[in-house]
Amino acid sequence: MTSIYSQRRAALAAQLGHGGVAIIPTAPERARNRDSDFPYRHDSYFYYLTGFTEPNAYLVIAANGHSTLFCQPKDLEREIWDGIRLGPEAAPAVLGVTQAHSVGELNKELPKLLENQTTVWFPFATHEALTAQVDGWLTQVRARVRMGVSCPSSQQDLCTLLDEMRLVKDAHEQDTMRRAARISAHAHVRAMQTSARMLRAGQDVREYHLEAELLHEFRLHGSQFPAYTSIVAAGANACVLHYRADVAPVRDGELVLIDAGCELDGYASDITRTFPANGKFSSPQKDLYQVVLAAQHASAAATKTGARFNDPHEAALRVLSQGLLDLGLLTQAKHSSVDDVLEKKAYFPFYMHRTSHWLGMDVHDCGSYVEPGVANTAPAKADPLTGVMVQARPSRVLHPGMVLTLEPGLYVRPSEDVPEAFWHIGIRIEDDAIVTATGCELITRDVPVEVADIESLMAK
């Protein structure tokens, strides 16, 4: 049986053009201090093409479909310390590559794979020092031109091909992402219930208590790591977009914003829920929450095959802007209509990030956000708030199998212009959506979003 990885290598080889050779390193190991390393995480491109998670490895793919893996050699002593290695002898049978060498042979063997080829493909600006390595290999090939060898004469960015391939998730990837999403959703349920239960018991609840619940649930179900640093933000901390789980108290009467998702078998999930610490929304909390929730429903309704990447954002902005007017956070006196709010970006002090990003192996996954191959249709325009020149390029058309987040929010800082009841409230609701033929599949809804459902879950 041909593995998904062999199929992907063949699909990539077919795009390299006559005489093209692709080089894909995995990620380096990184020292934390002295003898301790940061937990190792493979490179996503490399994993996409091999399913191989050992460090110190390179994959080379030729246009004729031949693939060569360079990997760590078997070494009894190192394996006692660091664990079993696959080794180049076993790699062809296990991974389906055409041949394999020890990574120690890299500088001897790689130039041979470039001889008499025309183009070297590698991920640009992704691996520190790779450009210098490629230069070294090309120098070795060029040293042999007097022996009649020809040297590649062009370099191409492999990201352009791999990003397009990774943007549409195949059935295997979607299945893994659904499983990751389910684990993360249950972790959020667990954190919500723990918050209410501990407060009911009169305990001193801290952000890290809730983070511990998330991590426990992730690992319990086989997740290797969190997909990104978990945000557990109690009360006003929710208005800090990149806050982390810290020691702040989770207080009765305040909201908690949790943005956390696990990585499972190389794929990320990304969920945000905002809930009352004690399980019951206050009236202003509920009013603001309902606006964000309605914006998220609108963004989901706008996510479908044939729509554009920006459509969910624009749908969310319209609902958020109307809500800001309805609740008096923006005044009708200053802003005559929703269109006026949108035009002047008056929502920006309350909503300063975008509604979506691609999701996949990386939490902010690769893939162009504009339609490739379409030239600018209009001259660059100055952003009304920042003055930064922005290119008006048509955003990406959505296709089945693309995966994006839907994550509108509102963040209210103290200000004389804003009713005090809303001060320090930060709300975001984030789900992961797979684009389907007719709409989208929200794969993270094992954790509720509706007010009544959150309250009933937390009462249990």
Q: Does 211 bind ligand GLY (CB under 6 A)?
A: no
Q: Does 228 bind ligand GLY (CB under 6 A)?
A: yes
Q: Left, alpha or beta for 450 (phi > 0: left; psi -120 to 50: alpha)?
A: beta
Based on CB atoms, which residue is closest to Mn ion, 21 or 449? 449
CB 274 within 8 A of CB 426: yes
- Catalytic annotation present for 357: yes
Q: Which of 170, 165, 186 is nearest to 434 (CA)?
A: 170
- Catalytic annotation present for 420: no
- Catalytic annotation present for 411: yes
187 binds, among Mn ion, ligand GLY, none (CB under 5 to 8 A by kind): none
- Catalytic annotation present for 432: no
Catalytic residue of the set 30, 78, 200, 364: 364
Catalytic residue of the set 411, 431, 432, 441: 411
Alpha-carbon distance of 212 to 195, in angstroms, equals 12
Interacting residue with ligand GLY among 210, 315, 346, 363 (CB under 6 A): 363
Q: Which of 185, 97, 242, 146 is nearest to 432 (CA)?
A: 185
Judged by CB under 5 A, the chain residues 223 through 282 that form the site for Mn ion are 259, 270
254 binds, among ligand GLY, Mn ion, none (CB under 5 to 8 A by kind): none
Instruction: Give one DSSP letter per residue of 422-452, joined into a string.
Output: GTT-EEE-BEEEEE-SSSEEETTTTS--SHH
Q: Which of 158, 143, 87 is nearest to 112 (CA)?
A: 143
- Binding string, 39-78, against ligand GLY, x = CB under 6 A? ----------------------------------------
- Catalytic annotation present for 364: yes
- Catalytic annotation present for 217: no
20 bridge partner residues: 119
Q: Does 259 bind ligand GLY (CB under 6 A)?
A: yes
Q: Does 211 bind Mn ion (CB under 5 A)?
A: no
Catalytic residue of the set 18, 32, 34, 35: 35
Q: Does 270 bind ligand GLY (CB under 6 A)?
A: yes
Q: What angle, rounded to 10 degrees, do the helices at 451-459 and 283-301 form?
A: 120
Minimum CB separation of residue 353 from ligand GLY in Å reads: 8
Based on CB atoms, which residue is closest to ligand GLY, 211 or 430? 430
Evaluated on CA atoms 387, 388, 391, 395, the torsion sign reads: negative
**Could you list the residues that contact Mn ion (CB under 5 A)?**
259, 270, 405, 430
Site residues, ligand GLY (CB under 6 A): 228, 259, 270, 357, 363, 407, 430
Q: Which residues are catalytic?
A: 35, 242, 259, 270, 353, 357, 364, 407, 411, 428, 430
